[in-house]
Structure 1
Amino acid sequence: MQLNNLKDPNQMVDYATAVKTGLGNNQGLFFPPKVPQLPNVNELLAMSTTARNFHILQPLVKANISDDALRSIIANVFTFQSPLKKINEQVACLELFHGPTLAFKDFGARFMANCLQHFSKQQQSSEKITILTATSGDTGAAVAHAFHGLDNIEVVILFPQGKISELQQKMFTTLSGNIRTVAVAGDFDDCQKLVKQSFDDVDLVRAVGLNSANSINVSRLFAQICYYFDAVAQLPVAQRDQCVVAVPSGNFGNLCAGIMAQTMGLPIKRFIASTNLNDTVPRYLKDGIWSPNDTVETLSNAMDVSKPNNWPRIEYMIESGQFARQDLSGLAVDEMQTENTLKTLYQMGYISEPHAAVAYQGLQDSLAEDELGIFLGTAHPAKFKSSVEAILNIELPLPDAIAECAEKTDLSTNMSADYVSLRNYILG
């Protein structure tokens, strides 16, 4: 299957090229011109997760990855579960934080790393690859751990200084070897801007084999499709066509993957894009005007994004007639609502964290009596230990994955939001 550059219709590439280059000409995103539809979805939902994931991913990558190789990659990547935790008779949380870095980003980052490693071995290439990525929280840890120690791959991770939780930060800034981390004096949008400037620098791209592991890389998007099928497979058969999914949304890759899943045939009735005060998309869905404001710091910091990179993919799905605009609504949740929703969930016997609370509030605002709601739990509550403990007045134990890095030294470098400084750092 060929992938189009959404900004340059003349650029069409195969899956391997899209994964290895990240962004296309003019900073364009790669995307399938037509998302393939899967036959016999009910049969897929009855399969094991591993078998099902093969049938989901095979049509998307078959031009570059053999069936045997894909099965091997799937066996390496999907080594943890996505349980659907019941909150009440009408609502459940899809827990996506049971991977090695306790966040949903583990799915995409591990799949991308395994694909890149496969392509390198396939071509017997010794060329160096430099992964440059920006994180507003969980991407950093997932990418760092997925690529740590891989031959011929250097990783540079940018994050907004002082704007992510300390425990989130420690999970990727305490590694060494081929992982380098940079605390940028600015917000996440500043970090994304630096990444885009780097990809516009043709000489730099060639010099270091620049690639990105952000959700702009289509490999991450493809892997995330799989857990939407996991969610629906755990629902009673009779209720599947009344399923409503609320997605905590920042850069909008997670929602895009869900929309792709529905397009492939998964019976999801509609989606809710739940954001925090960075409400560019909910406002756009309401009035049709795209007007990003300055990024605002919130409790749900991984969603502190006012210019979401993945929105053009969703827009393309709507404009090309593959996804119905009426199947998507948006809701912005303020800080007081986030705190109150966390408390509500706790009173119901479920300890959550700010991002999932934002998604849950999306369901509360619009779920009909005959609908079944799923909200995505994108990170373990302990990754936001200080805020969750303060809001709920409880003490959270640290999972082993976090406790192991909490006492380690932060190895990140401080830098201004200046492209020349970053370029010199990457080359150095």
Structure 2
Amino acid sequence: MQLYSTNNKYLRVSFKEAVFNSMPQDKGLYMPVEIPQLDADFIGNIEKYSLPEIAYKIASTLLKDEIPAEDLKALIEDAINFEAPAVKLDDNTFVLELFHGPSLAFKDFGARFMSRVMAYFLKDGEQLLDVLVATSGDTGGAVALGFLGVPNTRVTILYPEGKVSPIQELQLTTNAENIRAVQVKGTFDDCQALVKQAFADEELNAKFRLTSANSINISRLIPQTFYYFNTYAQLKKQGLNDVIFSVPSGNFGNIGAGLLAYKLGLPVKQFIAATNINDTVPRFLESGIYETKPSTQTYSNAMDVGAPSNWVRIMDLFNGDVDTLKKVVTSYRFNDEETLAGIKEIDSKFDYVACPHTAIAYLAIEKFREENPDDESAAVFLSTAHACKFPDIFPKEIAAKIKIPEQVKALESKPQHADKLNVDFEGFKNYLLKG
């Protein structure tokens, strides 16, 4: 598998190099030189395959000979060892539950696959791998659990002070071993900027072997395509062939993976990018002007991103052709009041408890249906996190229905530790240099 930079189409690096470098020195993002089409026979019979089988088919098609077949199969079976059920709410509405992994969030797909790929490529005696990650809520927990105890790695997680939920913070700060958490007096965008500056710093790169676990890393994006194909397989078993996906979108890695799946041959009619009031992309699709802004805190904190890194990848997938992109991608925004109303509506209509991100994806489906009353496609909205992570957001009668998983209860008895930094790169750099 050869990859180029979105800032340099002529650059060529291997998958292994892209995984460990994470981001090209020109500050672009890695993309595959070739996006092969999955064969029609596989797509036509996809309902016959299990999630690990689907995952292996996609990964082997993209990676080619980067990892031998048997090793890749074993890696996938270890990483993707939980289900992603498309739960039927009515004849044409499904919620895709992506929270059945260890950190109770969809990020487990990317983080577990990436950590195992890195562990596979790491050789005994090589320099310690320093993994830097910024999180707005769920990424950090998934990465922490994905890398916990992985030899020859050290993970540094930056998260914004006061802007993650209590359970999310427990997942970040109770790991110890090779995981360290850093609380930053700022926003997610500030955390993300610090990480990007670190990758561009010559002194840090000379001293450390740096890589990222954010969705800017191509090994995070690939495994997220797995559940789009697997969902299509689940619907196809029920005789449903036309499908629309509504994706809660913050840094736009999740929907970016869906669009990569589309380019690989997944027959999706429409993608909906559902955002909160951090609406850089909806504004762009309406006005044609791409203008980032500082992120604003909302109930759906994992989507509080004002400068979504992965949008450049999505534009690259469509060769910068906004008109073609808009035929495939629709985008809607919703505020906190609407989000809470969505949570109540899902509970009332379906007796289903949805996290705030999931509620926004549901609202986007309803908005799309209002605007397209003749479209009878099956609509799938992605549930990206377990509702237990957001206890303060739900009305009491809905909160009472939430079942707290055992792994969350276990976190509450563990000691917490987080280092604290201001938003200045020199402070972060000195923190890293001190080890």
Match of 2:66 among 60, 64, 67: 64
Indicate if the aligned counterparts of 2:2 and 2:34 stay in contact, CA closer than 8 A.
no
1:21-420 equivalent positions in 2, closer than 5 A: 21-39=21-39, 40=41, 41-121=43-123, 124-236=124-236, 240-319=240-319, 324-347=325-348, 348-367=350-369, 368=373, 369-390=375-396, 392=398, 394=400, 396-420=402-426
Q: Could you list the runs of 5+ residues in structure 2 that have no partner in the other structure? A: none
Q: Shift of the alpha carbon at 1:281?
A: 0.3
Tell me which amino acid in the other structure corresponds to 1:329. Answer: T
Question: Which moves more between the two structures, 293-302 or 37-46?
Answer: 37-46
Indicate if the aligned counterparts of 1:343 and 1:391 stay in contact, CA closer than 8 A.
no
Q: Shift of the alpha carbon at 1:313?
A: 0.4
SS in structure 2 of the partner of residue 417 of structure 1: coil
> How far, CA to CA, are the matches of 1:395 and 1:245 in structure 2?
27
SS in structure 2 of the partner of residue 234 of structure 1: helix
Q: Shift of the alpha carbon at 1:390?
A: 4.7
Q: Deviations over 1:240-271 (max 9, x none)?
A: 44211000000000001001111111111010
The alpha-carbon distance between structure 1 residues 16 and 240, as it changes in their structure 2 partners (threshold 3 A), is: farther
Q: Superposition RMSD on alpha carbons, in Å?
A: 1.7
Tell me which amino acid in the other structure corresponds to 2:225. Answer: I
> How far, CA to CA, are the matches of 1:321 and 1:57 in structure 2?
27
SS in structure 1 of the partner of residue 154 of structure 2: strand
Q: Deviations over 1:187-235 (max 9, x none)?
A: 0000011001100102202311010000000001000000001111111
Q: Shift of the alpha carbon at 1:426?
A: 1.3
Indicate if the aligned counterparts of 1:182 and 1:415 stay in contact, CA closer than 8 A.
yes
How many matched pairs?
Answer: 426
User: Share of identical aligned residues, percent?
Assistant: 38
SS in structure 2 of the partner of residue 183 of structure 1: strand
> How far, CA to CA, are the matches of 2:15 and 2:368 in structure 1?
38
SS in structure 1 of the partner of residue 382 of structure 2: strand
> How far, CA to CA, are the matches of 2:171 and 2:388 in structure 1?
12
The alpha-carbon distance between structure 1 residues 289 and 346, as it changes in their structure 2 partners (threshold 3 A), is: same
Q: Shift of the alpha carbon at 1:320?
A: 6.3
> How far, CA to CA, are the matches of 1:106 and 1:413 in structure 2?
24
Indicate if the aligned counterparts of 1:274 and 1:358 stay in contact, CA closer than 8 A.
yes
The alpha-carbon distance between structure 1 residues 319 and 9, as it changes in their structure 2 partners (threshold 3 A), is: closer
Indicate if the aligned counterparts of 1:15 and 1:63 stay in contact, CA closer than 8 A.
no
Indicate if the aligned counterparts of 1:240 and 1:267 stay in contact, CA closer than 8 A.
no
Q: Shift of the alpha carbon at 1:393?
A: 5.5
Indicate if the aligned counterparts of 1:185 and 1:415 stay in contact, CA closer than 8 A.
yes
Tell me which amino acid in the other structure corresponds to 2:327. Answer: Q
Indicate if the aligned counterparts of 1:318 and 1:325 stay in contact, CA closer than 8 A.
no
SS in structure 2 of the partner of residue 268 of structure 1: coil
> How far, CA to CA, are the matches of 2:382 and 2:389 in structure 1?
16
Aligned counterpart, 1:424: 430
SS in structure 1 of the partner of residue 9 of structure 2: strand
Q: Deviations over 1:101-122 (max 9, x none)?
A: 110000100000100111114x
> How far, CA to CA, are the matches of 2:225 and 2:129 in structure 1?
26
Q: Deviations over 1:312-363 (max 9, x none)?
A: 0000111267974311000001111100000001112111110000000010
Tell me which amino acid in the other structure corresponds to 2:385. Answer: A
Q: Could you list the runs of 5+ residues in structure 1 that have no partner in the other structure? A: none
> How far, CA to CA, are the matches of 1:94 and 1:134 in structure 2?
25
> How far, CA to CA, are the matches of 2:205 and 2:156 in structure 1?
14
Question: Which moves more between the two structures, 74-83 or 199-208?
Answer: 199-208
TM-score with structure 2 setting the length: 0.95
Indicate if the aligned counterparts of 1:49 and 1:230 stay in contact, CA closer than 8 A.
yes
Aligned counterpart, 2:13: 13
Tell me which amino acid in the other structure corresponds to 1:189. Answer: D
Indicate if the aligned counterparts of 2:36 and 2:264 stay in contact, CA closer than 8 A.
yes
Q: Deviations over 1:158-197 (max 9, x none)?
A: 0000001011110121110110110000000000110011
The alpha-carbon distance between structure 1 residues 148 and 95, as it changes in their structure 2 partners (threshold 3 A), is: same
Indicate if the aligned counterparts of 2:173 and 2:417 stay in contact, CA closer than 8 A.
yes
The alpha-carbon distance between structure 1 residues 403 and 296, as it changes in their structure 2 partners (threshold 3 A), is: same
Tell me which amino acid in the other structure corresponds to 1:46. Answer: K
